[in-house]
Amino acid sequence: NAGVTQTPKFRILKIGQSMTLQCTQDMNHNYMYWYRQDPGMGLKLIYYSVGAGITDKGEVPNGYNVSRSTTEDFPLRLELAAPSQTSVYFCASRELNTEAFFGQGTRLTVV
Amino acid sequence: EDQVTQSPEALRLQEGESSSLNCSYTVSGLRGLFWYRQDPGKGPEFLFTLYSAGEEKEKERLKATLTKKESFLHITAPKPEDSATYLCAVQYSGNTPLVFGKGTRLSVIA
């Protein structure tokens, strides 16, 4: 049972480039989340989804987009990378009122 | 205004020196409070869920407790391998996402 899998683990982007962070889970969870974590700042919610076809903004959605076409996958898209998006990104999944399971993270640097 | 506040930001303990980490929350309607451990370069790992005031959970040297406005993570006789960042998260009513505190960085020195 793999849990939550994120790819890539590391990436360096140039300002203005685009990329997609992949997230897939094999636990058949309805709820999926994208967080970013900056040093000393905890986890901030970017976007979340309560089921296939349904997404909603979190605390810091600007500069990002998501889609949820299947229960398993919840990719995060950066359209025009900016230095402020340098961070560690975590994907998580859960069922309602239960604990969230996290992936191992994607460390992104925008230069 | 922060809805979840953790203290202290950092804590340095000698091996065997017991202590407590605090997580306070400011909004009513708590549906669950979660404790996670995070090692450097890794994703958060689930430790405990607490649902109601008075509830306690234990695992090895860790014990989590919950009151109506805060939770404590008690660490008894810690070892160097307990060094990590400990995160607290709360879920409020409905299907709202977890809201995380900034964490406490714990260092246990041999």
Best mutation target among B98, B99, B102 (most A Cβ atoms within 10 Å) is B98
- Chain A environment of B30 (Cβ under 8 Å): none
Residue B28 predicted with pLDDT over 90: no
B55-100 pLDDT, tens digit each: 999 999 999 999 989 999 999 999 999 999 999 999 987 778 899 9
B42·A104 Cβ contact <8 A: yes
Residues of chain A with pLDDT under 70: 1
Given this model, what pLDDT does residue A39 score?
Answer: 85
Output the CA angle A82-A87-B90, nearest 5 degrees: 125
Given this model, what pLDDT does residue B88 score?
Answer: 96
Rg (CA), chain B: 13
Residue B1 predicted with pLDDT over 70: no
Given this model, what pLDDT does residue A1 score?
Answer: 65
Is A101's Cβ below 8 Å from some Cβ in B? yes
d(C-alpha A5, C-alpha A92), whole Å: 9
Q: Which among A33, A98, A99 has CB closest to B97?
A: A33
Residue B26 — very low, low, confident or very high, per pLDDT cuts 50/70/90? confident
| A–B interface: beta-carbon pairs under 8 A | 50
DSSP B82: G
d(C-alpha B61, C-alpha B17), whole Å: 12
What average pLDDT does the segment B39-47 reach? 96
